[in-house]
């Protein structure tokens, strides 16, 4: 959580940044960073780029990292990134001074196949976790994927639907993006793997998520010697009503400002379980709830940006993610 004056207390709503410098032009994209900023980049990179963490990331991220050829020690230039991305997928990167681009502006750029990266980099006191996406998140979390067609195809879906969507549908579209490209999980090699950039770029989110993978096995919620996705589905079917009650409860906690601290967050959710009479075991026994990527459930989540995520959604494969996103986005995009 940032300690600067723009965000005295994180409430789940990121304060609009005072823009003091003009937006970058197409010609004016490169910044020179201080040695301290390069050092922060290097430490963030090394913090995630560890074999015991990488084994839990999906294969496409690793493929993309090779294609992107990032220097672990230096923040890359925009021209390096575009040199690696544009020839492969047609997308390009633009730097922005805006720390958290609002969805309307974000999707306008998406419609031009432009992915914005902020020029904001977290500070030393946020190495483990920042609720606010910074350039490490944008570059390290998203851009390895953007070197690949399957991801460009997924990102291509959002803007055409968003442009034609009603206000209510736009909220759902934001959730779908949040729980896929930002916080999505996917099954690969019969294991849960991390796909979402928001998890990959935050050591705390990443380790918390991996701990839940292990807990599901240890507590015999999931038998990893059997296909895992059908087991997750059957837990979800049995517990769907309780999951929906939790979502509704989390939202009301959020409205009271009680989802604003990652440190206290889980205790708040545990208190909610107690109030709802839900036992903290089985699929509700860890610090994050895993459920299949179910659009109806995701659409019930009225707010995406908490200081921490109490639940994550899993797709059976990235192809399946594509199909599920299409099922919601395509009919909207096809409207006259």
**Which CB sits closer to Fe ion, 76 or 133?**
133
Under 8 Å between Cβ of 309 and 183: yes
Question: Minimal distance in Å, beta carbon 229 to Fe ion?
Answer: 25
Token reading at 188 = 């690969």
Distance CA 65, CA 29 (A): 22
Stretch that binds Fe ion, among 74-82, 87-95, 125-133, 273-281 (CB under 5 A): 125-133
Distance CA 234, CA 244 (A): 15
Question: Minimal distance in Å, beta carbon 260 to Fe ion?
Answer: 20
Question: Minimal distance in Å, beta carbon 253 to Fe ion?
Answer: 24
> Dihedral angle at the C-alpha atoms of 134, 139, 141, 143, nearest 10 degrees?
150
**Which CB sits closer to Fe ion, 17 or 233?**
17
Site for Fe ion in 131-170 (CB under 5 A): 133
3-state helix, strand, coil in the chain (%, to 5): 55, 10, 35
In degrees rounded to 5, what are phi and psi of residue 251?
Answer: -65, -40
Token reading at 316 = 């059976």
Question: Minimal distance in Å, beta carbon 292 to Fe ion?
Answer: 22
Stretch that binds Fe ion, among 12-20, 79-87, 128-136, 232-240 (CB under 5 A): 128-136
**Which CB sits closer to Fe ion, 242 or 309?**
309
Contacts of 102-105 with CB under 8 Å at 24 or more apart are 103/162, 103/170, 103/174
Question: Minimal distance in Å, beta carbon 276 to Fe ion?
Answer: 31
Question: Minimal distance in Å, beta carbon 198 to Fe ion?
Answer: 6
Token reading at 284 = 């509700």
Cβ-closest position to Fe ion? 197
Count CA within 13 A, CB hemisphere, residue 35: 0
**Which CB sits closer to Fe ion, 147 or 242?**
147
Site for Fe ion in 186-215 (CB under 5 A): 197
For Fe ion, how many residues bind (rule: CB under 5 A)?
2
Site for Fe ion in 18-77 (CB under 5 A): none
**Which CB sits closer to Fe ion, 133 or 160?**
133
Q: Is the CA virtual torsion 225, 218, 317, 172 positive or negative?
A: positive
Task: List interacting residues with Fe ion (CB under 5 A).
Answer: 133, 197
């Amino acid at each position: 959580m940032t300690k600067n004056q723009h965000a005295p207390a994180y409430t789940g709503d990121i304060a609009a940044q005072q823009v003091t410098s003009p937006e970058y032009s197409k010609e004016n994209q490169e910044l020179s960073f201080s040695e301290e900023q390069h050092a922060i980049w290097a430490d963030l990179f090394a913090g995630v780029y560890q074999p015991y963490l990488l084994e839990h990331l999906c294969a496409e991220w690793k493929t993309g990292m090779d294609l992107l050829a990032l220097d672990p020690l230096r923040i890359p230039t925009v021209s390096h990134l575009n040199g690696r991305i544009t020839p492969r997928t047609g997308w390009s990167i633009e730097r922005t001074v805006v720390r958290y681009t609002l969805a309307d502006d974000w999707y306008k750029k998406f419609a031009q196949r432009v992915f914005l990266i902020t020029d904001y980099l977290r500070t030393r006191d946020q190495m483990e976790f920042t609720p606010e996406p910074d350039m490490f998140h944008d570059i390290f979390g998203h851009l390895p994927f953007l070197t690949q067609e399957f991801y460009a195809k997924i990102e291509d879906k959002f803007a055409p639907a968003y442009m034609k969507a009603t206000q209510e549908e736009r909220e759902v579209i934001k959730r779908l993006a949040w729980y896929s490209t930002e916080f999505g999980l996917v099954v690969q090699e019969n294991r849960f793997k991390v796909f979402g950039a928001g998890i990959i770029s935050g050591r705390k989110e990443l380790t918390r998520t991996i701990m839940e993978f292990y807990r599901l096995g240890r507590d015999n919620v999931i038998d990893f010697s059997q296909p895992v996705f059908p087991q997750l589905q059957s837990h979800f079917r049995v517990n769907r009503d309780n999951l929906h009650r939790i979502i509704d409860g989390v939202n009301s906690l959020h409205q009271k400002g009680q989802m604003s601290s990652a440190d206290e967050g889980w205790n708040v959710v545990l208190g909610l379980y107690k109030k709802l009479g839900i036992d903290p075991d089985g699929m509700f026994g860890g610090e994050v709830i895993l459920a299949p990527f179910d659009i109806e459930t995701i659409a019930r989540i009225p707010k995406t940006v908490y200081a921490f995520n109490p639940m994550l959604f899993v797709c059976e494969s990235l192809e399946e993610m594509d199909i599920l996103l299409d099922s919601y986005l395509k009919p909207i995009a096809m409207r006259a």
